[in-house]
Chains A and B, each alone.
Chain A
Amino acid sequence: MFVLKLIFRNAFRHRLRSALTIVGVAIAVLAFGLLKTLVAAWYLGVEASSASRLVTRNAISLVFLLPASYQEKIRHVPGVTAVAKGNWFGGVYIDEKNFFPNFAVEPKPYLDLYPEYVLPPEERKAFLLDRKGCVVGRKLADRFGWRIGDLVTLRGTIFPGNWEFIVRGIYQPGRKNTDTTQFFFHWDYLDETMRKTTPRRAGQVGFYVVGLSSPDLAAEVSLFIDGMFRNSLAETLTETERAFQLSFVSMTEAIVVAIRIVSYVVIVIIMVVAANTMAMTARERIAEYATLKTLGFGGWHVAGVVFGESLVIAMAGGALGVLLTFPAADWIGAKLSQFVPVFQVSRETIALDLLAAFVVGAVAGIFPTWRGATINIADGLRRIA
């Protein structure tokens, strides 16, 4: 009990210094937590993908398309329950700054394959019936103030021209990590327009989303589909939705790695600051440690007092940082909603936050602890003079 009391009293003896250190650790933990959350947001598509969906695309690369006739062939593969056509449309709304993902999809099978895009039955029906209709996510609709029945015009970058759509539905997230910044419209609308303007580009599909009756069949079915089209003009590459999403993340891996490294750098920075504080504190109290030893306390006892103080300060900072992380994440999530669709602090991040604070306290305390434990009584007392 006495030791605990001593630790707490010591920790707050220099009120200004302790407060500054605590704030410093809190900022570092906050930055660390936010960076971790940002990295997690990068992997959102991977996390949100389902194990029972496959994506089939052209083996050469994403800019090459597949014939629409593949759909029926894929549908007949044993274990496949549904196939939906899809194309990356790449349309721009007014200005390039207003980026959001937009796809031409086959409405019915696509919505069936993605039950996490929750759409009220009447909106779903209105969308299916209107060939120029589109469905947008909750966040996207809020961002531009779109309501049901609004006319939206996108400028095509891959498919030339101005394309008009009528908002027929706004989907809600079915899960926490569902991306609600996307825009979907009828694949038939795209195809029929292309048939009129550039017939060469009609009947082409960017990717097929394939639904499986059981996730266990993923490997078998992928091999089967790719085998069917081997040595054809458009060879396919079929992988699970997760692997498909992961391939996007791995392309920008260098940036993710950089963010990861930087998130540890901030911890190192604050470790240096805290170590400096503890070193100064210990230097000022050498005489006290010697006095404690004179009174009969052992080296381990003194060491515990110094080490405990370092931990108390660091953990206080860590706790403050964790508390600040939640409002900060909400604020950033609202500000950056166009770049990162979902910005949520996970439980793992909080645990890592606290671990980081603990490590900072422990490392900062090593040198002063060693000094306190090994100080020679006579040397320590001589300092007073």
Chain B
Amino acid sequence: MAIPFSYSLRNLWTRRLTTVLTASGMALVVFVFAATLMLAEGLRKTLVATGSPDNMIVIRKASATEIQSGIDRLQASVVESLADIATGADGNPLFAKEIVVLISLPKRGSDKPSNVPIRGVTTASFALRPQVRLVEGRLPRLGSSEVIAGQSVAKRFKGAGLGETLRFGMRDWTVVGIFDAGATGFSSEIWGDADQLMQAFRRPVFSSLTFKLQDPSAMNATKDRLESDPRLTVEAKRETKYYKDQSEMMATFLSIMGMTLTVIFSLGAVIGAMITMYAAVANRTAEIGTLRALGFRRRSILLAFLLESVLLGLMGGLAGLVCSSFMQFLTISTVNWQTFSELAFSFTLTPGIAVRCLVFSLIMGFVGGVLPAARASRMNIVEALRTT
């Protein structure tokens, strides 16, 4: 017969202080585990959401990012002459020739400079990125030194707020609008007129060409056609894949670091659980003897103590998870090594991460409890009863 579940539960309740201390040790470990997973997930999600699956992006061959890329006007017009590019509501092709460069701006508060991407756009750029919405001010007039800033840039960098001016390329640029692009990389960018920016930077080449096909399923055929064209030295990618590739290095780094830290930390927490459970067994030697004398099996005793320890782990896991869910309100902003530009992203909790955290906490409880529980189950009835 099994020992009732309430026995394990009430044992934890009786020794409240110890239970809370042990569980909070585990909670901290789960918190660190969850936080790093959420960070890597947030980064990946932000960059994946930046691309649209129907858009195609063309950059110079072997340049992994727009920043490194350069496509001259001749090659750009060859790509533009593709027959099956979709047409927008205004009758113009959905084809954007853009320039992306980094400018160094000081942060508000700390005054430390960081790299902000500035994107020179055309009218088609807005149609191709429906996630970009103007929230304040107005769109820049083409042919003028006006720019609009993404929300997280406007908040974080000096001179990027509405009505403020930025100085670069021997000109003053007025921020006439703030746009919101949700949790995408565009929120960390500044947009202006492509022709004006190319003039100001004395840079006669485009960085990337983005367009939409009439028939999205023809993407692979178009890719082959562009890449095998002898007049072009370009590579074409689906926009979602392009942005996903940019998250790879940083996301891998964050996951590896998180895993390593968690493994080391969990050793500490498991030791904590083990100490607690050994003490629980030692304090209750006579009790265990009594249970055995009443006829409970060794197996039932093993199970009861294991259950107690796993419950301890579960409590820690839940507490850690609840704490880490508050991290979702935090936004982190750091330079992505692959693009070398500042990117803002937030901690993201997914059901998958929650499940992994809980399973992890159960494992910690189990590993911590298995040896003490085995000791409890192996006790000799007579000797156990004799101890007072």
A: which residues have CB within 8 A of B? 16-17, 20-21, 23-24, 27-28, 30-31, 35, 59-64, 90, 96, 155-158, 160, 200, 231, 233, 237, 247, 250-255, 258-259, 262, 265-266, 268-270, 272-273, 275-277, 279-280, 284
Contact = CB atoms under 8 A, between A and B. Distances in A.
B309 to A, nearest CB: 14
A353 B207 CA distance: 49
Given A62-B104, A160-B63, 5 more contacts: A156-B62, A157-B62, A157-B64, A237-B104, A273-B272
Interface string B300-339: 0000000000000000000000000000000011110100
Contacts of A157: 62-64, 68
B161 to A, nearest CB: 20
Top 8 nearest A-B pairs by Cβ distance? A273-B272, A251-B335, A276-B21, A254-B334, A24-B271, A61-B104, A61-B102, A272-B25
Nearest to B101: A63
Contacts of A272: 21-22, 24-25, 28, 272
Nearest to A266: B265
Interface in B69-88: none
Contacts of A21: 271, 275
B225 to A, nearest CB: 21
A296 to B, nearest CB: 28
A160 B204 CA distance: 17
Nearest to A336: B256
Given A156-B62, A160-B61, A276-B276, A270 B268 contact: yes
Contacts of A231: 170
B201 A64 contact: yes
Contacts of B274: 20
A269 B261 CA distance: 13
Among A28, A157, A259, the most chain B Cβ lie within 10 Å of the Cβ of: A157
B278 A155 contact: no
Given A27-B264, A266-B264, A20 B271 contact: yes
B103 interface: yes
Interface of B: 17-18, 21-22, 24-25, 28-29, 31-32, 39, 60-64, 67-68, 101-104, 112-115, 168-170, 201-202, 204, 233, 257, 261, 264-265, 267-269, 271-272, 274-276, 278-279, 283, 332-335, 337, 340, 342
A60 B67 CA distance: 14
Among B31, B104, B261, B264, the most chain A Cβ lie within 10 Å of the Cβ of: B104
Contacts of A28: 268
Nearest to A259: B257
Given A276-B21, A279-B18, A269 B61 contact: no
Among B101, B233, B267, B332, the most chain A Cβ lie within 10 Å of the Cβ of: B267
Contacts of B24: 272
Q: For the complex, would chain A's binding face be called helix, strand, loop or mixed by DSSP majority? A: helix
B122 to A, nearest CB: 21
Given A60-B103, A253-B334, A280-B279, A265 B28 contact: yes
B245 to A, nearest CB: 10
A158 B68 contact: yes
Contacts of B18: 276, 279-280
Given A31-B264, A158-B68, A268-B28, A61 B103 contact: yes
B244 to A, nearest CB: 14
A155 B235 CA distance: 15
Contact of B268 (A90, A96, A250, A269): A269
Given A23-B271, A157-B68, A276 B22 contact: yes
Contacts of B201: 60, 64
A272 B25 CA distance: 6
A155 B61 CA distance: 11
Nearest to A88: B340
Among B24, B25, B101, B103, the most chain A Cβ lie within 10 Å of the Cβ of: B25
Contacts of B271: 20-21, 23-24, 27, 273
A61 B112 CA distance: 13
Contact of A251 (B39, B68, B114, B278): B114
18 contacts: A20-B271, A20-B278, A28-B268, A31-B268, A60-B101, A60-B103, A60-B169, A62-B104, A62-B340, A64-B201, A252-B335, A269-B28, A269-B269, A273-B22, A273-B269, A273-B271, A280-B275, A280-B279
Contacts of A20: 271, 274-275, 278
A262 B332 contact: no
A25 to B, nearest CB: 9
A160 B276 CA distance: 62
Contacts of B170: 231, 233
B21 A251 contact: no
B102 A160 contact: no
Among B67, B169, B340, the most chain A Cβ lie within 10 Å of the Cβ of: B340
A176 B68 CA distance: 34
Given A254-B333, A255-B334, A266 B268 contact: yes
B175 to A, nearest CB: 17
A17 B274 CA distance: 9
A30 B62 CA distance: 42
Contacts of B17: 279
A16 B279 CA distance: 10
Contacts of A17: 275, 278-279
A273 B102 contact: no
Contacts of A259: 257
